[in-house]
Amino acid sequence: MPTVTAPKEPAPSSKSKGAPKPRGSNAEEMATRQRDISVSEFFAKNRHLLGFDNPRKALLTTVKEAVDNSLDACEEGGILPEIVVLIEDLQPDRAATAKSSRYRVTVVDNGPGIVRKQVENIFGRLLYGSKFHRLKMSRGQQGIGISAAGMYGLITTGRPMLIFTKPKASQPAHHIELAMNTKTNRAEVTIDEETKDFPPSRLRSVAPGARALAAEGLLLDPAAFPTGTSVSIEMEGRYQKGRGSVDEFLELTAIANPHARIVFVAPSRESGADEDESLPLTKPPTTQTAAPGAGPTVTTELNGGIVFPRGVAELPPETKEIQPHPKGIELGILLQMLKDFDATSGGTLYTFLQECFCRISPQTASSFCSKIGVTTRTKAGDIEPRTAEALFKEFESAKLPPPPTDCLAPIGVRQLLAGMLKGVRAEFYAASSREAAVYRGRPFQIEAAIAFGGELPADDTARVIRFANRVPLLFQQSACSSFKAVTETAWKNYNLSQPRGGLPVGPLVIMIHMASVWVPFTSESKEAIADYDEIRKEMKLALMECGRKLGTYLRKRQKMRREGERRDVFEKYIGEISKAVHAINGTDAKKLYDVLLAQARERTAVADQLLDEDGKVVRNDPIDDDGVIVVESAAAPPPNIASAPLPPDPSASAAGSPNRRSKASRSSKNAPDQAKLFS
């Protein structure tokens, strides 16, 4: 356990008359006061390092840690995640001006559950986890997570964490209540039972919203949770919508993880009387009759609960762990690795290089050995620090192939589109997924997506939503590399206005995602991606790809609108003309009408074109593989992509789901009703 020296205590002042005692203790006196501080104690007094700076952020961090854990667990278990977040207001009758309140945060998932033995370690121990030691793309990069939330809850309310977990479908669930002992960094269990009640049925009637959703079968249906985990923490918090809120976090998580279905039951009112600008990405209708049996296909609000439906029916691919790349480590780490290797296997430097690093072949290993003046038989343990330093310098200057990229699992164009489609009400969607690249020896991959038009406000600046390893970044936007990439992209080229060095203006949502085994953050709060040239370059390229698709669409749309208007004008008059000619020379009016209409259509044929970047005929897939979706009309319900099979199978997808093709034709609802015309 790392030791931290306690701060120096002030010297006791002496009130004796006469000469005052000289200030300052000697070393022995000081020694008596120094002692170990446990990690938990340290963090208890430094909550901001974990994300618990203020009550509002505390609530958010708790939800964030729990949801991240749930998603990770489900993915590792090969289960399509089903996550429910409930926040109960335990002091509903507090004064309206109260800045915070006591809440119970519950997160339920349908993951593989946790074996009884591990429960204390996972929930009651800081810096314990499976992810820290591996170089693998994952959501959390430290093991602090949920235990810190539990500790915070304990500190602010004195109440323990309440855990239900069911690792086996055939056996009852465990019901455990535990609290962390900060001095020992160990959990203390106060209740330990078994129960068949999972997910806890109490949760279904925790609020009117919950009841409404449960009634529709959309909430905590036991059939959907054969295994899983439920965590409840009581804590002092502040529920307030807007930027950096639980609502925003869940919305964005839902977009970046379209394979997950998330339900959120919020407290009925917000803390405090402040008016925060609410910036929901969606404007859900207040009521919506769900399609029979299927549930909503876009983010929907139902009586105080929000359902973020599933967008795709496949889990993201598994990521592989990789060994570090020589160019991606620091000297101190190298020394530690040598020591560890010597301790575990006592092998040679030659072997060490090949086993503990990626991209070092036997030839490269022996070349390194000779460059630093050792043989291939020299033991790793015999390497002196000076030699290790020389080795480190060799790493920096050597020419090595870039690290493998199969450790990365990007979201994918199709999934990006699915996520945006259900989460944002727009009329045009585009996505692009770059090839993997490398910064400082670490592989990474950038993806971008945009949503344009539809119900998005046209006069506001674009909204930028940022993600790292599928986790939304909610704060410190202007410090983030992705934000800089957006402002440095020339959106003017794509028919948008953009003030110098600022965001473009228009009905636009821009999403950027960075997937990496090690995402560089600007600070310990992990809210902004650090600015590396390689990263920013990739981001801009991804944004430009999306921008080009948008530009093409807008130009085509303008042209189509013009053509559509032209067609409308002609169609209007053709009826009159046919009638007039018939009155004069008796020609069959209908015949004339049809021929004229065909002529009109021919001349305004652009309006009917199937939209595509390069003028190619678009296939019948609801999602264009080129990464573009266009909504025909805002009134049409979006397709249920979850139910649509993967391409290539266009015939099947056209059959069932409502067809939202990449087509933007003007329907002939403006043409005069033919029956009426000729009666």
Partner 1 sequence: MAKKSNTTAGEARDRVNARLKGRDAETQKKLLGLADMVTKKVLGGNEPIIDIPTRSRSNTTWNKKRGILEMGDAKQGRQLFNLNQAKQFMQTLLHASTIKDLIEVNKTSSLRGVYYKAKHTVAGTKENTFDDQDESDPILEDLEVSLNCLREELHLFAAPAGGMVGNITILDRGDEINCRRMGSGGYQLPSIVEPDIIEFKKCEAKFVLHVEKGTVWQRFNEDRFWEEHNCILTHGGGQPPRGCRRLLQRLARELKLPIICLLDCDPWGHYIYSVIKQGSISLAFESSRLAIPEAKFLGIRAKDFVACNLSDAVKIDLSENDIKRAKEIAAYPWFEKHKGWQKEIELMLDNGFKMEVESLINKGISYVTEEYVPERLRKKDWLD
Q: Which of 74, 596, 611, 641 binds partner 1 (CB under 8 A)?
A: 596
- Between CA 114 and CA 161 the distance in angstroms is 15
Interface with partner 1 includes 601 (CB under 8 A)? no
Could you tell me where the beta strands, DSSP code E, fall in 110-225? 161-166, 173-181, 186-195
CB of 636 to partner 1, least distance (A): 22
Block residue for tokens 């496949």: 314
- For the purposes of burial, counting CB atoms within 10 Å of the CB of 581, is it exposed (0-12), middle (13-18) or buried (19 or more)? middle
**Given the complex with partner 1, which of 270 and 571 has the nearer CB atom?**
571
Interface with partner 1 includes 564 (CB under 8 A)? no
Helix (H), strand (E), coil (C) string for 342-397: HHHCCCEHHHHHHHHCCCCCHHHHHHHHHHCCCCCCCEHHHCCHHHHHHHHHHHHH
**Given the complex with partner 1, which of 426 and 600 has the nearer CB atom?**
600
CB of 668 to partner 1, least distance (A): 10
With contacts defined by CB under 8 A, name the span among 68-76, 389-397, 459-467, 597-605 that binds partner 1. Answer: 597-605
Interface with partner 1 includes 670 (CB under 8 A)? yes
CB of 574 to partner 1, least distance (A): 8
Enclosing H/E stretch for 486? helix 481-488
With contacts defined by CB under 8 A, name the span among 334-342, 350-358, 456-464, 594-602 that binds partner 1. Answer: 594-602
**Cross-strand pairs, 161:** 178
CB of 640 to partner 1, least distance (A): 34
With contacts defined by CB under 8 A, name the span among 103-111, 260-268, 509-517, 595-603 that binds partner 1. Answer: 595-603
Report the relative pairing of strands 437-439 and 442-452 from DSSP bridges: antiparallel
CB of 561 to partner 1, least distance (A): 13
**Given the complex with partner 1, which of 421 and 600 has the nearer CB atom?**
600
Helices 349-356 and 362-371, packing angle to 10 deg: 130
Block residue for tokens 């535990």: 178
DSSP codes of every residue in 496-528? -B--TTS--BSSEEEEEEEEESS--BSSTT--S
Interface with partner 1 includes 491 (CB under 8 A)? no
- 597-600 long-range Cβ contacts below 8 angstroms, 24+ apart: 597/571, 597/671, 600/567, 600/570, 600/571, 600/574
- For the purposes of burial, counting CB atoms within 10 Å of the CB of 73, is it exposed (0-12), middle (13-18) or buried (19 or more)? buried
Contact 36, 182 (CB under 8 A): no
Contact 218, 95 (CB under 8 A): no
Residues 59-98 that bind partner 1 (CB under 8 A): none
Interface with partner 1 includes 587 (CB under 8 A)? yes
Interface with partner 1 includes 438 (CB under 8 A)? no
With contacts defined by CB under 8 A, name the span among 396-404, 411-419, 459-467, 598-606 that binds partner 1. Answer: 598-606
Q: Which of 19, 27, 95, 584 binds partner 1 (CB under 8 A)?
A: 584
Q: Which of 16, 363, 585, 667 binds partner 1 (CB under 8 A)?
A: 585
Interface with partner 1 includes 600 (CB under 8 A)? yes
- Which tokens go with 124? 């009651």
CB of 615 to partner 1, least distance (A): 24
- Which tokens go with 455? 């119900």
Contact 151, 180 (CB under 8 A): yes
Q: Which of 98, 215, 458, 580 binds partner 1 (CB under 8 A)?
A: 580
Residues 304-343 that bind partner 1 (CB under 8 A): none
Q: Which of 129, 324, 551, 575 binds partner 1 (CB under 8 A)?
A: 575
Interface with partner 1 includes 179 (CB under 8 A)? no
Interface with partner 1 includes 132 (CB under 8 A)? no
Enclosing H/E stretch for 420? helix 413-423
Q: Give CA separation, 565 vs 562, 667, 668, in Å.
A: 5, 11, 11
CB of 559 to partner 1, least distance (A): 14
**Given the complex with partner 1, which of 500 and 669 has the nearer CB atom?**
669
Interface with partner 1 includes 566 (CB under 8 A)? yes
Q: Which of 118, 603, 636, 649 binds partner 1 (CB under 8 A)?
A: 603
Q: Which of 279, 577, 606, 654 binds partner 1 (CB under 8 A)?
A: 577
Q: Which amino acid is at 366?
A: S
Binding residues with partner 1: total (CB under 8 A): 29
Residues within the interface to partner 1 (CB under 8 A): 566, 569-570, 572-577, 579-581, 583-585, 587, 591-592, 595-596, 599-600, 603, 670-673, 676-677
